[in-house]
Copies of this chain bind each other. A is one copy, B any other.
């Protein structure tokens, strides 16, 4: 497809796309939390700092209901730019791809039916461990169970995440597991130095450890949970990790616990893949032999500033946006032109309704 850039084996990417295209898709949104998001300046995933914890459940509610129940409007940046979940939503709906929400440590439970895992939220890695080794083990075990169940229900299981502050924990996990990592951000001026400082402080507490201990000290609950999902699901069906550098951290851990590379790909937006402050393609290549696909959602062409902002480096990815767009292109031939029209319609609907239920 002309809109896709591929990094890694093109043969493997082609084979992944051909087999996925002929089957069914299921999108699972894994919501989680790390108290690292409270480090000032580390994320813009919330209108105000005290609202950040509501962003994961609110994104899940928005995908499902078209409005949020935990907060009054859809999640935005402090200056009002909308959640990338907008792209996820129109992509999934354009192609009738079903989705489920999984709570893997969100501080706030979403107001809809969801898969519960019993995982606690992650701690602030600038100050102490994210969780216990036992929590990591629980996350991987439960991830395996959920991954196997969901993979048996679809030809291609697409996994996205919403973890505000999660690129910093991903950076720390990647470095802790030995990868040469720079990570992307929801902010155009990526606070690279700040992330480095937080990750380095967390890493300074590491000894020569088991991978689970690395994740327990410097990660977040999403990373081991999704690694467990991938590990089991990739033995049953295709798995598309829908995300940027956070999914690279998942791959780094999954490489240690085992997964089927032949059935796995990463899908993200060109806004992440092209982020010069990160190194997405190299990063994925460095941790696993799986193709990384990136799609240009085409929002640079929008007359609406809130949508154009995605192409200008705000919330470049998240809520599985890139992977869901790729899935919709594979499943039903969604084009960039149609995506743009659907996204503009949805943006106007939100602007009109204030993100609240109609009536």
Chain A interface (Cβ < 8 Å from any Cβ of B): 24, 26, 64, 96, 98-100, 102-103, 109, 111-118, 142, 145-146, 149, 152-154
Q: Which residues of B contact A153 (CB under 8 A)?
A: 24, 26, 98, 153-154
Q: How far is the CA of A154 from the CA of B149 in the complex (A)?
A: 13
A146, B26: Cβ atoms closer than 8 Å? no
B98, A64: Cβ atoms closer than 8 Å? no
A100, B149: Cβ atoms closer than 8 Å? yes
Q: How far is the CA of A115 from the CA of B117 in the complex (A)?
A: 9
Q: Which residues of B contact A116 (CB under 8 A)?
A: 103, 109, 113-116
A142, B113: Cβ atoms closer than 8 Å? yes
The smallest C-beta distance from A33 to any residue of chain B, in angstroms, reads: 17
For A98, A102, A103, A116, which residue has the most chain B Cβ atoms within 10 angstroms? A116
B115, A145: Cβ atoms closer than 8 Å? no
Q: Which residues of B contact A26 (CB under 8 A)?
A: 153
Q: How far is the CA of A96 from the CA of B151 in the complex (A)?
A: 13
Closest chain B residue to A236, Cβ basis: B98
Q: How far is the CA of A116 from the CA of B152 in the complex (A)?
A: 20
Q: How far is the CA of A219 from the CA of B96 in the complex (A)?
A: 35
A145, B113: Cβ atoms closer than 8 Å? yes
B145, A64: Cβ atoms closer than 8 Å? yes
A-B contact pairs, 29 of them (CB 8 A): A24-B153, A26-B153, A64-B145, A96-B152, A98-B149, A98-B152, A98-B153, A99-B149, A100-B149, A102-B113, A103-B116, A109-B116, A111-B118, A112-B142, A112-B145, A113-B115, A113-B116, A113-B117, A113-B142, A113-B145, A113-B146, A113-B149, A114-B115, A114-B116, A115-B115, A115-B116, A116-B116, A153-B153, A153-B154
Closest chain B residue to A151, Cβ basis: B98
The smallest C-beta distance from A325 to any residue of chain B, in angstroms, reads: 20
Q: Which residues of B contact A149 (CB under 8 A)?
A: 98-100, 113
The smallest C-beta distance from A105 to any residue of chain B, in angstroms, reads: 13
Q: Closest 5 interchain pairs by CB?
A: A116-B116, A98-B152, A153-B153, A113-B146, A113-B142
Closest chain B residue to A103, Cβ basis: B116
For A99, A113, A118, A153, which residue has the most chain B Cβ atoms within 10 angstroms? A113
Q: Which residues of B contact A117 (CB under 8 A)?
A: 113
Q: Which residues of B contact A145 (CB under 8 A)?
A: 64, 112-113
